[in-house]
Homo-oligomer: A and B are copies of this chain.
């Protein structure tokens, strides 16, 4: 249920390799896997979620590698940080301007297409980043009543 692009084509490992090299990032098995996961799954995972997923294929991976790799990807500007929740960093390889909505029941983060945004009083400012973050409940959770009063979920 991606609200940005109904179904983006999957990137091959060769395409990922090309993309990393183009962005001045040396290749390693971990880097290929991590970026491939981010760009193809687009679930805005946390570092820990990425660690768990990669570990299935490459059990020797360390959490530090995931953090280092994500930091590198941020520096090279091929992923963006999503901070819907203050205490959890999530990572998104889709760079086009869009918003995020976190469902407080199931924890999923959905992409939002922004039709228009007009701001007042920005004369003289220089803007580098824009982030629009919503919190609420997704249709699935509303339907299945997957929430309590004021329900929160990691």
Contacts and interface: CB of A to CB of B under 8 A. Distances in A.
Copies in the complex: 2
A129 B101 CA distance: 9
B130 A134 contact: yes
B119 A139 contact: no
A128 B115 contact: no
A151 to B, nearest CB: 10
Contact of A137 (B104, B125, B131, B135): B125
A32 interface: no
A22 interface: no
B129 A130 contact: no
Interface string A73-86: 00000000101011
Give the contact-size bracket for chain A.
35 or more
Interface string A138-149: 110010000000
A63 interface: no
A99 interface: yes
A9 B130 CA distance: 30
B120 A112 contact: yes
A27 interface: no
A125 B139 contact: yes
A120 B101 CA distance: 12
A117 interface: yes
Nearest to A104: B128
A41 B139 CA distance: 40
A120 B5 CA distance: 12
